Amino acid sequence: MRHQQEKNPDVPTALPKREEIDSAYIWRLEDIYPSIDEWEKDFDGLEKLLPRFQAYQGCLLESAATLLDGIRLMENAEIIMGKLYAYAVMKSHEDTSKEFYQALADRVGYLLTKLTAAISFYTPEILSGGKGVIDGFLGQSEDLKQYAFFFENILRMAPHTLTPSEEELLARSGEVARGPENIFSLFTNADMVFPEVFDEDGNTIELSEERYTRLIRSQDRQVRREAYEGLFGTYSKYRNSLAAMYSSSVKGDLFYAMSRKYGSCLEAALDSDHIPLSVYDSVVDTVRFNLKPLHEYVALRKEILNVPELCMYDLYVPLANEIKKNITYEEALAMVVKGLEPLGEEYISVLKHGFEAGWIDVYENQGKRKGAYSWGSYGTHPYVLLNYNGTIQDVFTIAHEMGHAIHTWYSHGHQPFIYADYTIFLAEVASTTNEALLLDHLLESSLDRQSRLYLLNYSLEQIRTTVYRQAMFADFERQVHNMAEAGEPLTAERLSALWHGLNVTYYGPEISVDAHIDIEWARIPHFYTAFYVYKYVTGYAAATSLSQRIVGDGIAARKSYLDFLKQGGAAYSIDILKNAGVDMATPQPLQDTLNLFKEKLGELKDLL
C-alpha cells in the first residue's frame, strides 16, 4: 500500500488558472473579433439581416437572377454566423466555468436556430422547381454555374425534404436538439469533480480527463489503477443522469430520421455525406472478422507486462520506455516539422506559419474544455485547441490537429464558401495522414532496439485505438440506435451491459473486463454526433494508403494529396478520395490497414 509522501512544492497540485498561462501559448481569437463590441456589432447586423429572407420566400425561383441573389444573401449570412459561432464557442471553451462566455455561446446558438429557420424554405423551393428549372437557370447565368454541384446535392435529397413550413419547424427545433450535447459538455467539463490521486512520484494531484490520459500510461501499475478507478468511479456515480443525456440525444436522432422518412438513424446520418450503408456495415464486419490479431496482441501485452491477470487499465501503458519524456512544446513542433517533410516545402511553410501566427491554444487550465480539436470559420485562419502535457502522444496530437487545420486552410483558400467545408467523412483523413508520416519518420530514424520497440508498440496502439476501438464504438452506436428504433429503453444498466459485452468480444479471453469499464460509453463526447466515430476508421484506412503513396511515389503523390486538400466539399466524399487514389467503397483499404497491424505485431515479436 502506498504511503502519502510530503508534497514537493515544485510540483503543481492544481491546474493553473487561464490568466496564469503565458500569452505566447494562447490562441489569438482577436483575429476573428478584436473585441466583444465588434462581435456584438456583427451579431446585431445579422439579426437585422434575417428579415430580408422573407422577400425571397415563395419567389426564390422567379428568375435566375433572383435565385443567385437569394443564395448570395444566404452565403453572406452564413459567413457572419460562422465567425460569430466559432468565436463565442471557442471563448467558452477557454474556461467553461465563466458564465459570460457561456451566455455568449447560448445567444449565438439561438441566433443560429433563427437563421436556420429563416433559410429553411430554400431547399424545398429549389426542389419544387426540379432539375429542369434549375438546369434552365444554369444555362442563363454564368455566375450561377458555380453552384451546380450544390443544386445536384439538394435535388438528390428530394425524398427526404419536407414542405417549407415543416422544414421551418424542424429548423426551429435545432436549439432543443443540441440540448443533450450542451448539457453533457457543461456537466463533464465544468461540474464534474474527480478525486485526488497519487502520481508516479507520490505527489497528490487533482485528477482530470487530461491527466488521466497521462496517468493511465504510467509504468506504475498502482498509479494506473487508481486513476482508472477514480475516473470511471466518478462517471459511475452519475450513470443515470448520463444515460438520460445520451438517451435524449439518440431519441433526437430518431425524431429527425423519422421526420425525414429515412429507414433508420444510420441511413439518415450517412446520407448527408452520400455514403452507402454498405460502407458502415463493411467497417464493423471487416474489423469483427479480423479480431484474432487483436486477441494475439492482448495476449502478448499480458506476457510482456508479466501480470497474472491483464486488466483494462493495463491496455495503454507502453510496452517499452518512451523515446523521451517531458518533451517541451518547442521540441514537439520541431519533431512535427521534420516528420512532415515528405509533404514538401509548400506544406511545411503553412505548418510553420500556423505555429507562429496564433492558431494554437496549447496548455490545460482550470475549466478548459478537455481533448483537442481544430476549428475556425470561412475568412479567418483555423484554430487548434490542445491540452499539451509533454508526452510523445501529445506530439502526435499536434500533427493530427494541424492536419485538420491545414486541410481547412487549403480548402478555404481554394474553394468558394459554398464548397469550402469538407465533409466529416473526409475530416479524419488529413489529420491521420500526418500521424502516419510522423510515425514513419520516427521509426526510420530510431536505430536502437528500445526506441523501435516503443514505436512499433505505438503503431499497434494507433491501429488498436483508431481502428479496432472506434469500430467497437461504431458497433455500439448501431446497436443502441437499433434498440431505440425498436422502442427499447436506453437505461444505464442496458447501455453498460452492451458496452461490457462488446469489450469482451473485441479484446478476447486474455483480459479481465471489470465492472468499472462498463460506464465508459458515458464519457465519449462523439456519441452526441451520431455515427461520427466510424469515420475515424475509414479516415485511418484512407490515410494509411495515402501516406504510403506519398512516401513511395514522391512528387506525383504529393501533388495529388495537396489537390485532395484543396477540394473541400466540391464533390462527393467517396469521389474526392477515389480521385486521390483510395476507393473506400471497397473494404480493401481497411483490410490493408488490418494487415499492417499483423505485420507490425510480427516485427514487435521478432524484437522481443
Q: Does any domain span residue 522?
A: yes
Q: Same structural domain for residues 257 and 149?
A: no
Answer whether residue 414 shows pLDDT above 90.
Answer: yes
Summarize pLDDT for 513-554 with one digit per residue, the tens.
Answer: 999 999 999 999 999 999 999 999 999 999 999 998 999 887
Q: Same structural domain for residues 118 and 138?
A: yes
Q: Same structural domain for residues 77 and 168?
A: yes
pLDDT at res. 38: 98
Summarize pLDDT for 88-137 with one digit per residue, the tens.
Answer: 999 999 999 999 999 999 999 999 999 999 999 999 999 999 999 999 99
pLDDT at res. 167: 87
pLDDT at res. 449: 87
Q: Does any domain span residue 400?
A: no
Q: Same structural domain for residues 468 and 597?
A: yes
Answer whether residue 451 shows pLDDT above 90.
Answer: no
Q: Choose one of 237, 255, 273: the last residue of a domain.
A: 237
Q: Same structural domain for residues 171 and 183?
A: no
Q: Same structural domain for residues 598 and 470?
A: yes
pLDDT at res. 92: 96
Q: Same structural domain for residues 459 and 501?
A: yes
**CATH number of the domain residue 215 falls in:** 1.10.287.830
Q: What does pLDDT average to over the chain?
A: 93
| 115 within 8 A of 77, measured Cβ to Cβ | yes
- Find, among 374, 518, 313, the residue nearest to 27 by Cα: 374
Answer whether residue 11 shows pLDDT above 70.
Answer: no
Q: What is the mean pLDDT of residues 184-189?
A: 91
Grid coordinates of 195 = 478525486
Q: Taking the complete model, does pTM exceed 0.85, yes or no?
A: no
Answer whether residue 159 shows pLDDT above 70.
Answer: yes
Answer whether residue 572 shows pLDDT above 50.
Answer: yes
Q: Does any domain span residue 413?
A: no
**CATH number of the domain residue 604 falls in:** 1.10.1370.20
Within 187-238, residue ranges assigned H as helices are 209-215, 221-237
Q: Same structural domain for residues 165 and 305?
A: no
Q: Does any domain span residue 282?
A: yes
Q: Same structural domain for residues 280 and 233?
A: no
Summarize pLDDT for 252-297 with one digit per residue, the tens.
Answer: 999 999 999 999 999 999 998 899 999 999 999 999 999 999 999 9
Domain residues for the domain of 215 are 193-237
Q: Same structural domain for residues 103 and 61?
A: yes
pLDDT at res. 12: 46
> How many domains does the chain contain in total?
3
Quote the CA–CA distance of 280 and 285 in Å, as a whole number: 9
- Helical pair 164-172 and 122-140, crossing angle rounded to 10 deg: 120
Q: Does any domain span residue 143?
A: yes
Answer whether residue 7 shows pLDDT above 50.
Answer: no
Q: Same structural domain for residues 172 and 184?
A: no
Answer whether residue 457 shows pLDDT above 90.
Answer: yes
Q: Choose one of 177, 201, 219: the last residue of a domain.
A: 177
Active-site residue numbers? 401
CA distance readout (Å), 145 to 138, 159, 260: 5, 24, 29
Residue 13 banded pLDDT, cuts 50, 70, 90: low
Q: Same structural domain for residues 40 and 168?
A: yes
Q: What is the mean pLDDT of residues 173-191?
A: 90
Look up residue 403 and give its amino acid.
G
pLDDT at res. 2: 39
Q: Does any domain span residue 362?
A: no
